[in-house]
Amino acid sequence: MRILILGAGGVGSAAARIAKRRGFYEAIVLADYDPARPEQLVAELADDRFSAARVDASDEGSVADLIHEHRITHVLNAVDPRFVMPIFRGAFAAGATYLDMAMSLSHPHPEQPFSLPGVKLGDEQFALAEDWEAAGRLALVGIGVEPGLADVFARYAEDELFQSIDEIGVRDGANLTVDGYDFAPSFSIWTTIEECLNPPVVYEDGRWYTTEPFSEPEVFDFPEGIGPVECVNVEHEEVLLMPRWTKARKVTFKYGLGSEFIEVLRTLHKLGLDKTERVTVPGGQVSPRDVVAASLPDPATLGDRMHGKTCAGIHVTGIGRDGQPRSTYLYHVVDNADSMARDGSQAVVWQTAINPIVALELLSTGVWSGTGVLGPEAFPASPFLELLADPAAYDSPWGMVEM
């Protein structure tokens, strides 16, 4: 297996650091638009299986050429979701297996954005599923933590824990703080703006519909000392993935943003600073959202100032295997102190990055296999969860509590 990791930011760097400890691949090429970033990371890793390259992720030809040049078999997309489609197409053209952690972008319904979905997350990728299947190639989409591990949990819940599922509610919360900053997002602000200000999607009784951003607040009590956090509806891939491979009657995604974060996002929207279209300013043209991202600290650099834990999981309700009502939360918690000690990566990006590396190892051994455009729910969950938690492998245990 020869892997190309596109993007040497927080998640891409964490993925490389995690992969360094494993031996299932022949080589990993780290590529970024700024060649200094992967070069610095390769120097840090000091492992001759790793090399650095430059790539323009917006150009599918550039992606395909790099794949051919390095005889890449598997591409891991670790850049902003706006680059999904050129990387997706480039990987297909070059004959490589493709993995990502965020799917192609959505576009709200032009007339009824808060009741009907328009172009949904991943629609552009699923539109090409027959091409991937006909070519005998695999695109494993949404294999970060959310989407990703949450979707593996959904497969596990359906196969092992429940006779029938009423709702799979993805619930994400944290108690992270960052020293020295009044406002410092722990993940890409570009992506956060995209998913939080778009109309959230809900799946229920065979159909998808949308609601207002930040709708239906609820307080969810997260485990392992995180405690109660108010969560709100946010657009996310799991709601589009889980109904394709599970029989849950309803699927929702709620994120513990906090009142301050929500107010900041609403203000950015009111001022038009969430827009991606370029505007003219003295000296040239800029995207307002890019300006916001450039003005805030890089989340990848915040680890040594960050404290606390982050939790990703699914709250599943339905009828258990014993025929009785059941309410279970399956979850994965990462303590920032632990991820920093292990790999020098802050908790949120580390928790995202570990899952595609586990998936790549399962693909390398043939435990996971398939063709077409598939989500994590399309694969057996137990081997993934066992490898993730194995002290001799990734040593990152997951948990389960009855509620």
What local confidence, expressed as pLDDT, does residue 192 receive? 78
Same domain membership, residue 157 and residue 89: no
Enclosing H/E stretch for 63: helix 60-69
Tens digit of pLDDT for each residue in 94-145? Answer: 999 999 999 999 999 999 999 999 999 999 999 999 999 999 999 999 999 9
Tens digit of pLDDT for each residue in 47-61? Answer: 999 999 999 999 999
> CA 356 to CA 365: how far, in whole Å?
14
Same domain membership, residue 64 and residue 160: no
Same domain membership, residue 170 and residue 236: yes
Nearest of 86, 256, 91 to residue 171 by alpha carbon:
256
Q: For the CA atoms of 382, 383, 388, 392, what is the dihedral angle to 10 degrees? A: 130
Same domain membership, residue 226 and residue 325: yes
- The answer to the question of residue 115 being in a domain is no
| CATH (domain of 82) | 3.40.50.720
Q: For the CA atoms of 148, 342, 220, 161, what is the dihedral angle to 10 degrees? A: 50
Q: Which of 41, 74, 100 is the last residue of a domain?
A: 100
Tens digit of pLDDT for each residue in 376-395? Answer: 999 999 999 999 999 999 99
Same domain membership, residue 165 and residue 304: yes
Tens digit of pLDDT for each residue in 214-229? Answer: 999 999 999 999 999 9
Residue numbers of the domain that contains 62: 2-100
Same domain membership, residue 161 and residue 88: no
Residues across the chain: 403
- The answer to the question of residue 73 being in a domain is yes
- Provide the number of structural domains found in the chain: 2
- The answer to the question of residue 199 being in a domain is yes
- The answer to the question of residue 164 being in a domain is yes
- The answer to the question of residue 246 being in a domain is yes
Same domain membership, residue 306 and residue 203: yes
What local confidence, expressed as pLDDT, does residue 291 receive? 87
Dihedral sign for Cα atoms in the order 379, 382, 387, 388: positive
Q: Which of 100, 134, 169 is the last residue of a domain?
A: 100
Same domain membership, residue 162 and residue 56: no
Tens digit of pLDDT for each residue in 168-214? Answer: 999 999 998 888 777 767 667 777 787 778 899 999 999 999 999 99
Is the pLDDT reported for residue 351 higher than 90? Answer: yes
What local confidence, expressed as pLDDT, does residue 162 receive? 98
| Residue 67 identity (one-letter amino acid) | I
CA 24 to chain centre: 23
Q: Which residue has the tokens 């207002």?
A: 212
> 350 or 292: whose pLDDT is higher?
350
Q: Which of 43, 66, 100 is the last residue of a domain?
A: 100
Same domain membership, residue 305 and residue 247: yes
Same domain membership, residue 9 and residue 94: yes
For 260-267, what is the mean pLDDT?
A: 82
Cβ 83 vs Cβ 100: under 8 Å: no
| Residue 81 identity (one-letter amino acid) | P
Same domain membership, residue 207 and residue 60: no
What local confidence, expressed as pLDDT, does residue 148 receive? 98
Pair of tokens at residue 146: 């959310």
> 96 or 306: whose pLDDT is higher?
96
| CATH (domain of 313) | 3.30.360.10
For 49-77, what is the mean pLDDT?
A: 98
Q: What is the mean pLDDT of the chain?
A: 94
Nearest of 241, 302, 292, 296 to residue 269 by alpha carbon:
292
Is the pLDDT reported for residue 276 higher than 80? Answer: yes
| Helix residue ranges per DSSP H, 259-391 | 259-270, 288-295, 336-343, 347-365, 381-389
What local confidence, expressed as pLDDT, does residue 282 receive? 86
> CA 339 to CA 346: how far, in whole Å?
6
- The answer to the question of residue 392 being in a domain is no
- The answer to the question of residue 179 being in a domain is yes
Say what percent of the chain tops pLDDT 90. 81
Q: Which residues of 143-162 are buried (b: 16+ CB within 10 A; e: fewer)?
A: bbbbbbbbbbbbbbbbeebb
What local confidence, expressed as pLDDT, does residue 186 receive? 67
Tens digit of pLDDT for each residue in 17-48? Answer: 999 999 999 999 999 999 999 999 999 999 99
Same domain membership, residue 201 and residue 57: no
- The answer to the question of residue 374 being in a domain is no
